[in-house]
Structure formats: C-alpha cells, structure tokens
C-alpha cells in the first residue's frame, strides 16, 4: 500500500531526476548519448526514477492532480524497463526536451503544496 506521507518525498525524487536530466542535456548531446552507452543509460535511469516515483505516488494524490498524465509517465518507465531493446537516444531526448520543462514547474508547485 502506498503511503500518503511519502508523496512529498516521491515528488522530490521526481524533481531531482528532472534536474539531473535537464542539466545533462546541456552537457551532452543526443549524438554523444548514441555513441556512449554509459551516457545513454545514465539518462535512461533518471527517466526510470521519474516513472517509479510516479508509480509510488498515492492514488489520492494522482487523482487530485489530473493536469499531469501520471499513467503516461508510469508507462514510460515500464517501456524503459521491459522494452529496453526498443528505446533509442532520440526517444529519450524527446522526453527530456519536450516533456520535462513543462513537468518541472508542476512538480515544484506540488512540493510547495505539500510543504504548507
């Protein structure tokens, strides 16, 4: 059973992983990730962490914040873990560049809500 008390901690994990990915995308290019599997799988691991932390959020929290597609985020984690052979650096890069900049401020706001 997921604990409500842990939602803030899970959100903090999501935010930390987002920051690592956004920072990493400034230091590395998708071409570097294509050439170096250690770099690529470092990015993949952080996306997995976002998905796992999302999975661990309580149903009540997720239901009360429908502006995020939690199921899509969780589903990405499943693809990365179980369909790892089909993931490319370009797919991961699209998530980092297209989705995370929009998700980050929402997560920050949710953490702030939990702190009040």
Of the candidates 7, 14, 85, 84, the one whose C-alpha atom is nearest the C-alpha of residue 50 is 14
Q: Distances in Å between the alpha carbon of 44 and those of 19, 39, 52, 79, 94?
A: 14, 9, 12, 11, 12
Annotated catalytic residues are: 77, 82
b vs e for 13-25, b when ≥16 Cβ sit within 10 Å of the residue's Cβ?
Answer: bbbebbebbeeeb
């Amino acid at each position: 059973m997921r604990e409500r008390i842990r939602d803030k901690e899970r959100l903090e994990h999501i935010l930390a992983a987002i920051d690592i990915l956004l920072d990493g995308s400034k230091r590395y290019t998708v071409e570097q990730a294509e050439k170096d599997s250690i770099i690529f799988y470092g990015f993949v691991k952080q996306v997995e962490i976002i998905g796992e932390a999302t999975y661990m959020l309580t149903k009540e929290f997720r239901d009360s914040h429908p502006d995020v597609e939690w199921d899509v985020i969780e589903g990405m984690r499943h693809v990365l873990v179980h369909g790892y052979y089909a993931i490319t650096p370009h797919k991961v890069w699209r998530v980092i560049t297209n989705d995370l900049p929009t998700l980050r401020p929402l997560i920050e706001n949710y953490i702030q809500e939990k702190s009040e």
